[in-house]
């Protein structure tokens, strides 16, 4: 990918993340997070990681967005106001410090596509040289995800499936609880009135 385009995508990602955290409308936050995932997929595609880009677009912007929208429909669209404003004066410097540390650490990383980088040595050379003959797949990333690391990919798929099923169970349980009739305050089951003579005084 062209470096100026990389910079534009990075800036858009930062702006999108800040807007998603600052908005009070949860539905708008979900839309911003979906846009964040789409721009991340564009960044992955520019790095020739098409498989990862497709997964990010499908899960990050698709499935996750649908689950978030379903959760909002079952709960509320507005976020609760934050009462403790003083925490911002503690959290904000920490975020800036972590961001500065990450930027400082990334300055020592090798250039993208550098053949002398540590990631391009060792087992990576064997994957690049033998993946076509071993897996009969022209895309090296696909051969890694679907063949060499197939069990790892299966485990990640099971994690995503478990998270989706858990989310659906929570949403369905909440909907069922809202549909249950309220029990009268005087005791008894739903549809029954309170005991007219709790002390047994009638007939004495």
Main-chain dihedrals φ then ψ at residue 194, nearest 5 degrees: -70, 160
Q: Confirm whether 5 is domain-assigned.
A: yes
Q: Confirm whether 147 is domain-assigned.
A: yes
Main-chain dihedrals φ then ψ at residue 78, nearest 5 degrees: -100, 140
Please say if the pLDDT value at position 2 is more than 70.
no
State which residues form the domain around 152. Answer: 125-180
For residues 95 and 18, what is the distance between their CA atoms, to the nearest angstrom?
12
For residues 142 and 157, what is the distance between their CA atoms, to the nearest angstrom?
15
Digit-coded pLDDT (tens) for 14-29: 899 989 888 888 888 9
For residues 67 and 61, what is the distance between their CA atoms, to the nearest angstrom?
10
- State how many domains the chain has: 2
Q: Confirm whether 204 is domain-assigned.
A: no
Question: What six digits make up the tokens of 154?
Answer: 């299966």
Across the chain, which distance is largest between two alpha carbons, in Å?
100
Q: What is the pLDDT of residue 65?
A: 84
Please say if the pLDDT value at position 1 is more than 80.
no
pLDDT average, residue stretch 37-43? 89
Among residues 79, 104, 134, which one ends one of the domains? 79
Q: Confirm whether 196 is domain-assigned.
A: no
Question: What six digits make up the tokens of 138?
Answer: 């022209």
Please say if the pLDDT value at position 159 is more than 50.
yes
Cβ pair 29, 78 in contact under 8 A: no
Q: Confirm whether 163 is domain-assigned.
A: yes
In sequence order, the 6+-apart residues with CB closer than 8 A to the CB of 11 are none
Q: What is the pLDDT of residue 130?
A: 86
Digit-coded pLDDT (tens) for 64-122: 888 888 888 877 878 776 656 677 778 888 989 998 998 898 888 887 777 787 777 77
For residues 204 and 194, what is the distance between their CA atoms, to the nearest angstrom?
20
Q: Confirm whether 69 is domain-assigned.
A: yes
Calculate Rg over the CA atoms of the chain: 27
């Amino acid at each position: 990918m062209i470096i100026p385009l990389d910079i534009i995508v990075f800036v858009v990602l930062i702006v999108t993340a800040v807007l998603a955290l600052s908005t009070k409308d949860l539905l708008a936050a979900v839309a911003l997070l979906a846009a964040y995932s789409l721009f991340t997929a564009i960044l992955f595609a520019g790095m020739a990681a098409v498989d990862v880009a497709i997964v990010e677009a499908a899960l990050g912007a698709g499935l996750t967005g649908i689950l978030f929208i379903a959760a909002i429909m079952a709960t509320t669209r507005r976020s609760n106001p934050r009462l403790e404003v003083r925490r911002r004066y503690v959290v904000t410097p920490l975020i800036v410090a972590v961001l500065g540390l990450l930027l400082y650490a990334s300055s020592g990383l090798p250039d993208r596509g550098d053949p002398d980088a540590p990631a391009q040595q060792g087992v990576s050379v064997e994957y690049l040289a033998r993946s076509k003959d071993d897996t009969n797949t022209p895309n090296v990333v696909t051969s890694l995800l679907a063949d060499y690391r197939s069990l790892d990919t299966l485990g990640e798929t099971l994690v995503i499936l478990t998270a989706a099923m858990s989310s659906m169970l929570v949403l369905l349980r909440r909907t069922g609880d809202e549909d249950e009739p309220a029990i009268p305050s005087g005791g008894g089951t739903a549809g029954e009135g309170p005991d007219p003579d709790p002390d047994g005084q009638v007939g004495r």
